[in-house]
Amino acid sequence: MALLKSNKVIYCLGNISPSLGVLSTRNSSWWGGVQMGPPDPILGVSEAFKKDSNPKKMNLGVGAYRDDQGKPFVLSCVRKAEAIISSKQMDKEYLGIGGLGEFTKSCAQLAFGNDAEVLKSGRHITVQTISGTGSLRIGGNFLSRFHGGPRDVYLPKPSWGNHTPIFKDAGMQLKGYRYYDPSTCGFDFTGALDDISKIPEQSVIMLHACAHNPTGVDPRPEQWKEISDIVKKRNLLVFFDMAYQGFASGDIDRDAWAVRYFVEQGHNILLSQSFAKNMGLYGERVGGFTVVCKDAEEAKRVESQLKILIRPIYSNPPMNGARIAATILNTPDLYSVWLGEVKEMAERIIRMREELTAGLKKEGSSKNWQHVIDQIGMFCFTGLKPEQVERLTKEFSVYMTKDGRISMAGVTSGNVGYLAQGIHAVTK
Amino acid sequence: MSVFGEVALAAPVAVFKLSQDFNNDQFPNKVNLGVGAYRTDEGKPWVLPVVKKVEKVIVHDDSLNHEYLPILGLPEFRSSASKIALGEDSPAIQENRVGAVQCLGGTGALKMGAEFLRRFYNGNNNTKTPVYVSSPTWENHNAVFANAGFDDVRPYKYWDAANRGLDLAGFLGDLESCPAHSIFVLHACAHNPTGTDPTQEQWQLIAEVMMRRQLFVFFDSAYQGFASGNLDKDAWAVRYFVSMGFEMFCAQSFSKNFGLYNERVGNLTIVARDADNLKRVLSQMEKIVRTTWSNPPSQGARIVAVTLTSPELFSQWKDNVKTMANRVLLMRAQLKAKLQALGTAGTWDHITEQIGMFSFTGLNPKQVEYMVKERHIYLMASGRINMCGLTSKNIDYVAESIHETVTNVH
């Protein structure tokens, strides 16, 4: 239906006429000055992997779980929940801005424990968010608008790559505290306490609840206790990112221990939860954002403001994934199936860690690979240097991020030997 | 002492508060003419038959999983959705200068477009570029652009209350006098809340000024197909602007025309000068998406993509859309007829001249309050009614109520 009123077009500025195809340059476009954005470091790895024709190639980039055949895994509790939902033939009316009530309620219960005081007293608000990213962003926006303290969010060094741009775009500034010790491939406990003790009061500190991304290095319970003490002393606002509850140890209560301990200790935390990994609901974008408040009245005020923040971004959240998650969490049969499947996923990862370490020993590596077993969750910070990573990719078609992080989920009993070969070759 | 001790209780969003009040009302003959969602003649939500069909297929397809979509969304969704807006044979598509970002509903598409424009349009981070939204407009337009960082969101003249029609002279006047490079949010069809659209001739005049003054075209297309019942007819304005050579954005929603409200299915269609510009724009869009929601939800986009790419399902969808549009047209015709039969003061032609889900009745705030409090008929303070809230069972009651209100309340 091209309806060129050519008489009128002629009087327009020549550089906007589509007929001047030959002269269509950057200069005649609104976007001439727009630079090509850099490829996302994590997702860019997958792109490169796709293009590789080596039959032995391995994608150890993105943190998405794979089964022992290297295939995506749809949990059976998810399929069952979907069948139940399908049979109910529900309508598709808009959710409220804060999302599906059955979901947000059980989301908070999962994090804090069913009998938690913070739930009973109603002194928390949980809103449904667009998975973990959406939750962190809403949290960042909320801090930016309402937090009276310093603009700084302190991230562990290193942290998930997307934390920084999320908080920046939300209007916060980023600082760091020591966390990973490259000399041990473990936790720099003294460094962390030292740095945290110097953080200005009322600053925001981000803590990974379990299965730290990218290092897989988590504090031990007694270390968490000391962190809690120093954070309290410094009067810092705690923001927990919990993207792997259940996925780390296989036990949902164990993985939530730090979160629950902090709340018991009186920290009124912010909490982001994701169900991408532990329910395999990646593309359905299921998450929650919680603010633990002084009392129920404050929670109501905070809730009202969260809605004001959410409305101009996407109005209200998507139903499908939240409905699946709520069905699983609230149906006892499905819930126990889920616990079993989450354990299964975590245990396969743990097995792969053991096999990789054994494999490296078998290859004759003289290096200490204990950290591969000590680290927890989806990711392993191998300790490989950028040049070694590059070689591993170029010579063995093993794809991972430059920081030496591998997703253990991409390792299978079929390829773990090859991986050990490759890692040994570039590190010997 | 709480960190959030100073956080004030925010006022609830009006349209949702209205629904809440309606739900709490015990009056047996209450009517909800508030929120913009389609209702059947039984006053019930309607899941489109084609959607039910496709959902069944999806749930039984074991080859499908829940993996992450790419950052910009499901490719088949993006391209088929843009085709719906621009037309199958769009020259711009053939010239490889049309791209899209799958977003969370129409709101999400507006948000992404706004965030991009704030960063890259009219210089970098030019938060002072005026953004014009129609007077009146969907209440969330202001917030979307303000929250994206624009300091100056202003109204352009649109609704002529006295004549209950388009204030074309005012509209054109604002286009002529606004600062160069201003951004204008245009309703592609079925203007929300007035239901009053420019005619084709009027669109041509609007386009001429916008081209000459180098204003940015940002279409909001939330009702394609829903307005007249015909997809192509409802897309006329968007396609005309593309044919005129504009680089522009079009925020598409599939909430209403697919009835997929809660799955948040939207698409930001980008028409650029050429493929190279498009590529760079999309690469920057990815960065914005990544810090907002990382990648969009899968379910709704799958349903739409499967439907649009199957000739049979596409045809069924068009029928479903027609069903909805026709019911609205019927209610419009009947409401006007009843008001005229009652001899209600004033003219009521605007009920059938206006198009889409909404009608700007012309009731003033006092009359609206009377309708809500005394007659238990819930409508927005602006006098906006959702025609979908009318049914063969309640239309007499509504007509009588309007009659009584107009007669007794001034």
| Chain A residue numbers touching B9 (CB-CB < 8 A) | 300-301, 304
User: Which one-letter amino acid corresponds to residue B208?
Assistant: E
**What is the mean predicted confidence (pLDDT) over B11-29?**
87
pLDDT digits (tens, 9 = 90+) for B78-97: 999 999 999 999 999 999 99
Closest-CA residue of B relative to A62 is B68
Q: For chain A, what percent of residues have pLDDT higher than 70?
A: 94
Q: How far apart are CA B341 and CA B346, in angstroms?
A: 12
What residue has token string 């773990």? Answer: A416
ipTM, two decimals, is 0.94
pLDDT over 80 at A40, yes or no: no
Distance from B141 to chain A by nearest Cα, in Å?
8
* pTM for this model (two decimals): 0.94
Query: Which range, of B155-164, B181-190, B305-314, averages the lowest pLDDT?
Result: B155-164
User: Which residues have a Cβ under 8 Å from the Cβ of B126 and sit 6 or more positions away?
Assistant: B118
Interface contact A331, partner B, CB < 8 A: no
Residue A12 in this model has a pLDDT that exceeds 50: no
Nearest to B212 among A12, A92, A281 (CB): A12
Q: Is A280 on the interface with B (CB under 8 A)?
A: yes
The pLDDT value recorded for residue B263 is 98
Residue B2: pLDDT band by 50, 70, 90 thresholds? low
The verdict on a CB contact (< 8 Å) between A318 and B297 is yes
Please provide the average confidence, as pLDDT, over all residues in chain B. 95
Task: Give residue-wise pLDDT tens across range B231-240.
Answer: 999 999 999 9
Taking residues A137-162, report their average pLDDT. Answer: 96
Residues of chain A found within 8 Å of residue B261, distances taken between Cβ atoms = 92-94
Alpha-carbon distance of B104 to A95, in angstroms, equals: 13
Decide if A124 contacts A275 (C-beta within 8 A).
Answer: no
* pLDDT at residue B152, rounded to an integer: 98
Distance from CA of A271 to the nearest CA of B (A): 15
How does residue A62 score in pLDDT terms, banded at 50, 70 and 90? confident
Mean pLDDT of chain A: 92
Is residue A232 among the annotated active site residues? no
- The structure tokens 């078609």 sit at A397
pLDDT in tens, A202-226: 999 999 999 999 999 999 999 999 9
Give A-chain residues touching B214 at CB under 8 angstroms: 13, 16
CB contact under 8 A, A91 and B45: yes
A64: contact with B, CB 8 A cutoff: yes
Pairing of strands A286-292, A379-381: unpaired
Of the CA atoms within 13 Å of residue B168, those in its CB half-sphere come to 12
Q: Residue A18: what pLDDT?
A: 40
pLDDT digits (tens, 9 = 90+) for B260-269: 999 999 999 9
**Banded pLDDT at A153 (limits 50, 70, 90):** very high
pLDDT of residue B17: 84
Query: Mutation test of the interface with chain B: which of A12, A94, A303, choosing the one with the most B Cβ atoms within 10 A?
Result: A94
Question: A353 pLDDT band (50/70/90 cuts)?
Answer: very high
Q: In what order do the strands lie in the sheet with B183-187?
A: B98-104, B265-271, B248-253, B216-221, B183-187, B131-135, B153-157
Is A283 close to B295, i.e. CB distance below 8 A?
yes
Residue A24 has pLDDT above 90, yes or no: no
Q: Out of B30, B157, B256, B338, pick the active-site residue.
A: B256
Region B111-120: what's the mean pLDDT?
97
> For B237-255, what is each residue's pLDDT tens digit?
999 999 999 999 999 999 9
Q: B229 CA to chain A: closest CA distance, Å?
A: 18
Q: Are A306 and B12 in contact (CB under 8 A)?
A: no
Q: Which residues of A touch B255 (CB under 8 A)?
A: 94
The H-or-E segment that residue A289 falls in is: strand A286-292
What is the number of CB-based contacts under 8 A between chain A and chain B? 267
Instruction: For residues B310 and A184, give the distance between their C-alpha atoms in angstroms, rounded to a whole number.
Output: 57
Q: Which of B138, B159, B317, B348 is catalytic?
A: B138
What local confidence, expressed as pLDDT, does residue A110 receive?
A: 98
